[in-house]
Amino acid sequence: MTGSLRTISDRVRDGSSSAVAELDRCLERIARDDGPIGSFQCTGADAARERAEAVDRRIAAGEDMGPLAGVPIAIKDNIVSRGEPTTCGSRMLEDFHSPYDATVITKLIEAGAVPFGKTRCDEFAMGSGTEYCAFGPVHNPWDLDRVPGGSSGGSAAAVAAELCPASLGSDTGGSIRQPASLCGVVGIKPTYGRVSRYGLVSFGPSLDQIGPFARSVEDAALVLQAIAGEDIHDSTTIDSPAEDFTTSLHEPIEGLRIGLPSEYLDAHNDDAVNAMVHAAVETYRGLGAEIVDVTLPLTDVGIATYYVIGPAEASSNLARFDGIRYGRRVEPAAGEGLFELYARSRGEGFGPEVRRRIMLGTYVLSAGYYDAYYKRALQVRRLIRREFEDVFRRCDVLLGPTTPAPAFRIGSISDPLAMYLCDRYTVNANIAGICGISIPAGCTEVDGKPLPLGLQLQAPALGESTLLRAARMYEAATNHHEARPGSNA
């Protein structure tokens, strides 16, 4: 066992371990166990060891470090770090080395953590299974024939398989919460603007947020604490007073009001998923929470709205990959010019799902269709936000499943739309900018193997403290987070 973050940082600070030893422990586990899982694109061992040595020197010099001292944290392959590769799971960026550190990397280093490696993801974070990674898929540690979810599948699988104690992912429509659910770990999508996106390779800039994966709510909260805050390099970060998510974390919320949207108990959900939600409701009732029946009718148009806004933003955003300043370039043939350089570089550099979304986004933004699609989607976006605001007057958090079903088999979903619908319960939090968390909620047995299910809680913008405390109440009452792949088979 690699232990909790506090256990690790305690032993690093008291000298019974070191940042270098903790990093080596992770690297050994990855060398031993990651082959069949494939969660790491690279381990970045040399750069990581330098960072770990620097932490050990700071401790030796008497610096008083916090609860992340010497904690190795794996990084999704769409977050840049100076001098290291960031591929975004794409041939387009196969040889790209960043000239700078993302703000989250800088903040983790300041907090004494050791960010390391790059975990595999769907290309440019577009996907729900980490099957659309140009360098190979990631396998779910609970059942290697199944997906870990996506797009941050590598970050989720690495934490589930105990290759590292925590990791960072990014969530544009569910890309942290959905793989957390499918891999049986905790994943947080913070409020939009809570965490700086500087150095996150942009997909949908009004939707993207970086957030943590860990094996407990407290560990995830500690990482969130370290990466949150206003940043001069990201003008969309929220200028709000620093808040401590961890001091009151273990105090139950008295009179907690939990909203249960009827739309979240859909008949199309896997039976085990609906049973899990009912059991969670009973758990909370037993803890003294009040269950409030609510409705969120716009849940049903979330995916439709998202697949206008997300691809529209992506198509404009990914225009930067033009084969000129960085990324893959295909030189034009004789008689061809700049247009062909752009089109061939992009046609060859991007995989099918990225091309699909660029096409969709370009279409909905093109002359004659802009109002029918993009403008209308932004109008629905306001209504979705309003719907959340209205229900949050009557409850503190919303409860439901993270996903309609447990992990699916690799290669079993070929229809793009069917894949998109996996994110039915997660996209609206991004559309409305609110925060959400997926926490382990037990397993269902499929084909003789236990597969994790995730419980999603959502709270209003900047409601992380309430969200995390409510999540911790459930975790403390159930201990589902202690289940590990292979341990309860």
- Give me the catalytic one of 9, 17, 76, 81: 76
Enter the tokens of residue 139. Answer: 């396998």
Sign of CA dihedral 368, 416, 155, 220: positive
Strands 257-261 and 290-294: parallel
Enter the tokens of residue 102. Answer: 């993302």
Neighbours of 371 (CB within 10 A): 8
Shortest Cβ 373–another protein spacing (Å) = 5
Which is nearer to another protein, 219 or 313 (by Cβ)? Answer: 313
Which is nearer to another protein, 274 or 316 (by Cβ)? Answer: 316
Shortest Cβ 241–another protein spacing (Å) = 16
Q: Is 175 assigned a catalytic role?
A: yes
For residues 180 and 188, give the distance between their C-alpha atoms in angstroms, rounded to a whole number.
9
Q: Is 118 assigned a catalytic role?
A: no
Which is nearer to another protein, 241 or 448 (by Cβ)? Answer: 241
Shortest Cβ 113–another protein spacing (Å) = 24
Shortest Cβ 238–another protein spacing (Å) = 7
For residues 73 and 213, give the distance between their C-alpha atoms in angstroms, rounded to a whole number.
9
Shortest Cβ 289–another protein spacing (Å) = 27
Which is nearer to another protein, 112 or 261 (by Cβ)? Answer: 261
Which is nearer to another protein, 28 or 300 (by Cβ)? Answer: 300
Contacts for 65-68 with beta carbons within 8 Å, 24 or more apart?
65/9, 65/13, 65/111, 65/112, 66/9, 66/111, 66/112, 66/226, 67/5, 67/6, 67/9, 67/222, 67/246, 68/5, 68/9, 68/108, 68/111, 68/112, 68/113, 68/222, 68/223, 68/226
Shortest Cβ 254–another protein spacing (Å) = 29
Which is nearer to another protein, 224 or 432 (by Cβ)? Answer: 432
- Give me the catalytic one of 4, 18, 151, 202: 151
Tokens 């470090």 locate to 65
Q: How far from 183 is each of 47, 82, 150, CA to CA, in Å?
A: 28, 30, 10
Neighbours of 275 (CB within 10 A): 14
- Give me the catalytic one of 175, 181, 202, 315: 175
Residues with active-site annotation: 76, 151, 175
